[in-house]
Amino acid sequence: MDSDWRDVSPRNGLGGLVDRLTGPGATKAELLLQFVPPLVAMVAAPAYALTLPAQWTPLQLGLIALLALDLVGGVLTNATSTAKRWYHRPGQGWRQHLAFVSLHLIHVLLVAVLFRGGDWGFWLGTSGYLLGASILILRSPLYLQRPVALGLYGLSLLGDRYVVTPTLGLEWFVPFFFLKLLVSHLLQETTYHTGKFPEKPVS
């Protein structure tokens, strides 16, 4: 299967909003993978939390649902060929990728404040590791980015297991958080032709 880096522009209107999230030209199979499992996670995550011996507020349960939707959806969306083609299109360099990653520091802040009682050590440690790991990946030669990213992701799992106390009800947060950003988003993988668009003309 040939790789395909064609530049496809987003549609106008509501379709354009979807294109900017999933990448223009996402196939039906990609869209199913990007939307169905996250919707299931959005229900399953707060349902799991309710089985635990904790008193949850509506705000906490709502945030658990949104975090599950965003992280599961982000892992799957950013891993598709269509999203790779969009997020790694010409003009998207290390500054744009680091800006995308930095937006997710809000996720860590919300978890630290609303679920860990204002645990600033968790916020600073997780945020610092995210930014440092992202810079290391982006500054690595392209052919080394995958092993560097996977190694740094593995370290994040060890840190979550042995250094940081997992967040009650959000034990899945750190693994999915770093998987979305360090592996699914930052890596410039081969964007295989999906058959959504006509083949490139042979020169």
Place of tokens 């560097």: 148
| pLDDT at 113 exceeding the cut of 50 | yes
Q: Please report which confidence band the pLDDT of residue 163 belongs to, taking 50, 70 and 90 as the band edges.
A: very high
Q: Give me the pLDDT at residue 29, please.
A: 93
Q: Which tens digit of pLDDT belongs to each residue from 71-105?
A: 999 999 999 989 999 999 888 899 999 999 999 99
**Domain ranges (residues) in the chain:** 14-185
Q: How far apart are CA 168 and CA 151, in angstroms?
A: 26
Per-residue tokens: 172:
């899945």
Alpha-carbon torsion (111, 74, 58, 44), positive or negative: negative
Q: How far is CA 105 from CA 53, 59, 71, in A?
A: 28, 19, 13
DSSP assignment string, 5-22: ----PPPSTHHHHHHHHH
Class of residue 84 by CB neighbours under 10 A (exposed 0-12, middle 13-18, buried 19+) = buried
pLDDT in tens, 25-83: 889 999 999 999 999 999 999 999 999 999 999 999 999 999 999 999 999 999 998 99
- State the pLDDT at residue 20: 84
What was the pLDDT predicted at 15?
Answer: 77
Greater confidence (96 vs 18) lies with: 96
User: What CA–CA distances, in Å, run from 95 to 30, 88, 101, 151, 156?
Assistant: 27, 12, 10, 22, 23
- Look at residue 68 in the predicted model and tell me its pLDDT: 98
**pLDDT: is 163 or 20 the higher one?**
163
pLDDT tens figures, 164-203: 999 999 999 999 999 999 999 999 987 766 665 544 433 3
Position of tokens 């693994």?
Answer: 175
